[in-house]
Amino acid sequence: MVFANIIRDHFPSMNRYLGLMRAASGPEEYVNAVSEYLAGWPKQKVESLQKVDGGWGPFEKNMQPMRLCTVADVTWMGDAVRRQLVALKDAGVAPNPELVELDLFFYIAKRVAQDRLAARPREDSAAPRQGAYRE
């Protein structure tokens, strides 16, 4: 309930995509919901994130989201966001709201995958696909 209140009050655009993830009938719909969330980020949010992400974040230089193909890709991306957030905090740098939003989104996305998709037969590979991320 705490997350629901935080999302409703501070990240209202996130609700739709979380609902799509929860309603996903399989991994492909789940990954599509995550990809749609990232694709819906306005240019100014992406620019703000890219000021602190050092090029590692989930958006390409042209401000388009990186391609996610599997649940493992989503997990990898969420782990990368979490590592960046922790590194900034450890360095005494306050993370910007966009990074905090991504961390929250991917935390919930990971939980949804664990809770909703774990009981279903696996249709995706255990590792991210080759070429799913920029080099």
CA–CA gap between residue 46 and residue 89 (Å, rounded): 20
Q: Is 124 inside a domain boundary?
A: no
Q: Is 130 inside a domain boundary?
A: no
Q: Is 46 inside a domain boundary?
A: yes
Which percentage of the chain shows pLDDT scores above 90? 30
Q: Is 134 inside a domain boundary?
A: no
The number of domains in the chain is 1
Better-predicted residue by pLDDT, 128 or 50: 50
Q: Scanning the structure block, which residue is given the tokens 């989201």?
A: 65
Q: Is 80 inside a domain boundary?
A: yes
CA–CA gap between residue 131 and residue 135 (Å, rounded): 8
Residue-level pLDDT at 47: 87
Q: Is 129 inside a domain boundary?
A: no
Q: Give 59's strand partners.
A: 65
Q: Looking at residue 92, what DSSP letter applies?
A: T
Domain range for 70: 2-117
Summarised one tens digit per residue, pLDDT across range 79-134 is 999 999 999 899 998 888 889 889 999 998 998 888 877 765 554 444 555 444 44
Phi, psi of 65 (to 5 degrees): -65, 145
Cβ contact 27:21 at 8 Å: no
**65 SS3 class:** strand
How many other CB atoms are there within 10 angstroms of residue 55's CB atom?
9
Q: Is 133 inside a domain boundary?
A: no
Q: Is the pLDDT of residue 2 over 80?
A: no
